[in-house]
Structure 1
Amino acid sequence: MNRIILVSLTAMLFFSCGRFGNKETEGKKQQRIVCLSKHLTEMLFALGKGNQIVAVDLSSTYPDSAKLLKTVGYHRALSAEAIIAMTPDLVIHSNDIGPENVLPQITAAGLNVKAFGGANTADSAKLLLKELGIYFGAEAKADSIINAMNLSMQRAADSLKAMNIKDTPNVMVIHFGRANNIYFVMSGRKAVPDKMIAAAGGKVTHYDAKGARQISAEAVAEANPDIIIATDYGFDKMGSMEKFITDVPGVALTNAGRNKRIVRFEEHDLIYFGPRSGDNIIQLMHLLHSKPNVQAK
């Protein structure tokens, strides 16, 4: 009799697990996610969903845990075969992936693909965090991150005001594009780097070159920035500040080159807004207004 009762109770518990499961996670099973946008990668980790990501694009380098994941190509030069080989339950991106045939290929292969928005402003980043929180069943965590982000952005604004800056340096961002294997000027497009520079008390240098794509030595020299921000991969590719100054076209002819005002900055801290943007702006602020030869860690 006791054995019959025990079997019956076990069966009841087994079937009730699905019937009375956690409402917040119902329908949001553990998934195999391939993430193709760097800001989505950071946000998913912040939401506690990083353990579901099985592969990322090469530009997804934050947090450090993302660097341990398999990669499926640069976000504008992806491999459809590599994505499909990961057998993901979900592929997420933010409509900035390439080449053009990759999306039709992975869709035709039957993969579940979901597009989310960008994070080109602090407000759009907060809206995206909210959307991700709802989609992945982490609304409370998203709200907590947004509240912390509001506080850090206000702290950055207060820090800039307290610095009482008298001279505003002209700033240019030079980035190495791994998709095209070229250096190009990233600032001057009224995009995220420009917003970050302004928030840190800098002035964006006017760069007069069509499309601001492949770098022009003449245009860099004519723009003559006081400070050049070099994103991490392009800076490290040269190996030192001296090599960056001498080997990147036009840099040696600028105030930044002559005065050795080249600062290394992580790409993922500069080209989208997210949970750490307030702290990133404060870091940039100190770099722009510090004495020469001080670089980011």
Structure 2
Amino acid sequence: MSSPLSSRAGRRPFRFGTPAFIGATLTLLMLTGCAGPTAGPGTAESAQRECVASEIPLTELAVLDAPRDWVGPSTACLADAGITAIDSPDEPQLPVTVIDDKGTEVTVTDASRILAVDVSGSLAATVFGLGLGDRVVGRDSSTGFAEAAGLPLVTTGGHQLSAEPILGLAPTVILTDTTLGPPAVIEQLRDAGIPVVITTSKRNIDTIGTVIEQVAAALGVPDAGERLTAQLHADLAAVQADVEAIAPTDPAERPRMLFLYLRGSAGVYYLFGEESGADALITSIGGRDVAGEIGWQGMRPVTAEALVEAAPDLVLLMTKGLDSVNGVDGLLESIPALASTPAGQNRRFVDMSDTEILSFGPRTPQVLDALARAVYAPEQSGPIGE
């Protein structure tokens, strides 16, 4: 843990880390890109695809001799899309007082009705991972795992918070971050007497433990948070060791990858670079982050020059993003420069569910495993993604 957990009753408030900044670009991107339904025949096609993962252990797969040269798209599928809670979950010890990521002192006295919402679905997944999923009363549009599927949706227009449906659920505590808005709704909820805890908005592999720590502190289960983090780190280490075992030994033979965020219906085409989270995802599955190699920072509209310079062998995508441009053919038509890259010429695109690929929560080890299968053993990874 990055700092001692001192949120138990009778102790000084637990203070979250230095307020983390996530660029307004990402929030705008998500709000714009997901505001409406995806368009085109790819949407129906995606709905008909059942994503089924191979049960063969990662290190026993028949992997490609030359993953940079494979021709054709593939889809990364989780073996189990659910959230596995830690053993013997703790009962919340309340009240607790925390200093949240915005510097606000918040006292939580009741965790019987939890609402955890953010743009990536990480917060709800963390609550379920802590074994408190039966207390969650609603969900955001990025929370797509089965255990939460029956919960009422509280975000509108993609990722906009609305006070009325939230108040209707009578939550006793709300966990969120700065990726959902508008801020006025947060103030309205606080004015209604609901404790609202703002967590860090940074999402990458290195911050998963921080998110768990902050959520666990706010809900009065810091020890459970420590156990979940330890379990997560052990699982991550195991998966990354397996990836290293199947990835090419020579760095020059490892596939050159980049991540594109697409919402064709909204005309949104973004390239995710350094400090976007996608860079850590790529290196964790044994790929070369070519956006980083060309100095691409953060999340910005893609340019033809950047694609040509990056010359990726493989492009990672969200499934609905690929659907929104009508599949691989539509993608190459929408971004002509992509067709001149090795990825475009080989139609080498790997898609994964929007609610999984960048969620950075308790399922991250499984996400890395699924992506590695789609990259190094595409014929054994799941359905073809077009």
**Which residue identity does 1:275 align to in structure 2?**
P
Q: TM-score, normalised by structure 2?
A: 0.61
Distance in 2 (alpha carbons) for counterparts of 1:295 and 1:190: 29
Distance in 1 (alpha carbons) for counterparts of 2:286 and 2:216: 32
Distance in 2 (alpha carbons) for counterparts of 1:55 and 1:113: 15
Native 8 Å contact 2:313 2:342 kept in 1: yes
Distance in 2 (alpha carbons) for counterparts of 1:181 and 1:131: 34
Alpha-carbon spacing, 1:234–1:105, altered in 2? closer, same or farther (3 Å): same
Deviation at 1:172, TM superposition (A): 1.5
Alignment of 1:63-142 (within 5 A): 63-71=145-153, 72-73=155-156, 76-118=159-201, 120-142=203-225
Deviation at 1:248, TM superposition (A): 4.8
Residue 189 of structure 1, aligned match among 244, 266, 274? 274
Larger deviation: 193-202 or 276-285?
A: 276-285
Aligned residue in 2 for 1:32: 113
Segments of 5+ residues of structure 2 without an aligned counterpart are 1-89, 96-108
Larger deviation: 164-173 or 104-113?
A: 104-113
Deviation at 1:293, TM superposition (A): 10
Segments of 5+ residues of structure 1 without an aligned counterpart are 1-21
Alpha-carbon spacing, 1:253–1:291, altered in 2? closer, same or farther (3 Å): same
Aligned residue in 1 for 2:124: 41
**Which residue identity does 1:48 align to in structure 2?**
G
Secondary structure of the residue that 1:128 maps to in structure 2?
helix
Aligned residue in 1 for 2:367: 280
Alpha-carbon spacing, 1:74–1:30, altered in 2? closer, same or farther (3 Å): same
Native 8 Å contact 2:114 2:172 kept in 1: yes
Does 1:156 pair with 2:239? yes
Deviation at 1:173, TM superposition (A): 1.1
Query: Which has the larger helix fraction?
Result: 1
Native 8 Å contact 1:76 1:99 kept in 2: no
Deviation at 1:35, TM superposition (A): 2.1
Which is higher, the Rg of structure 1 or of structure 2? 1
Secondary structure of the residue that 1:55 maps to in structure 2?
coil
Deviation at 1:170, TM superposition (A): 1.6
Q: Deviations over 1:31-87 (max 9, x none)?
A: 3333221110100111122222222221222x2222322222367533344333433
Alignment of 1:245-260 (within 5 A): 245-248=332-335, 250-260=337-347
Distance in 1 (alpha carbons) for counterparts of 2:380 and 2:311: 18
Q: TM-score, normalised by structure 1?
A: 0.76
Distance in 1 (alpha carbons) for counterparts of 2:189 and 2:134: 23
Distance in 2 (alpha carbons) for counterparts of 1:242 and 1:295: 20
Alignment of 1:173-212 (within 5 A): 173-176=259-262, 181-206=266-291, 212=299
Alpha-carbon spacing, 1:87–1:155, altered in 2? closer, same or farther (3 Å): same
Deviation at 1:208, TM superposition (A): 7.7
Larger deviation: 162-171 or 191-200?
A: 162-171
Higher relative contact order (CA 8 A, sep 6+): 2
Does 1:170 pair with 2:253? no
Alpha-carbon spacing, 1:141–1:293, altered in 2? closer, same or farther (3 Å): closer
Alpha-carbon spacing, 1:211–1:164, altered in 2? closer, same or farther (3 Å): closer
Instruction: Give % identity.
Output: 21
Aligned residue in 2 for 1:7: none
Alpha-carbon spacing, 1:188–1:30, altered in 2? closer, same or farther (3 Å): closer
Secondary structure of the residue that 1:56 maps to in structure 2?
coil
Distance in 1 (alpha carbons) for counterparts of 2:224 and 2:91: 16
Native 8 Å contact 1:89 1:111 kept in 2: yes
Alpha-carbon spacing, 1:186–1:93, altered in 2? closer, same or farther (3 Å): farther
Larger deviation: 227-236 or 86-95?
A: 86-95
**Which residue identity does 2:280 align to in structure 1?**
K
Does 1:264 pair with 2:351? yes
Native 8 Å contact 2:205 2:280 kept in 1: no
Secondary structure of the residue that 1:267 maps to in structure 2?
coil
Corresponding pairs, count? 274
**Which residue identity does 2:261 align to in structure 1?**
H
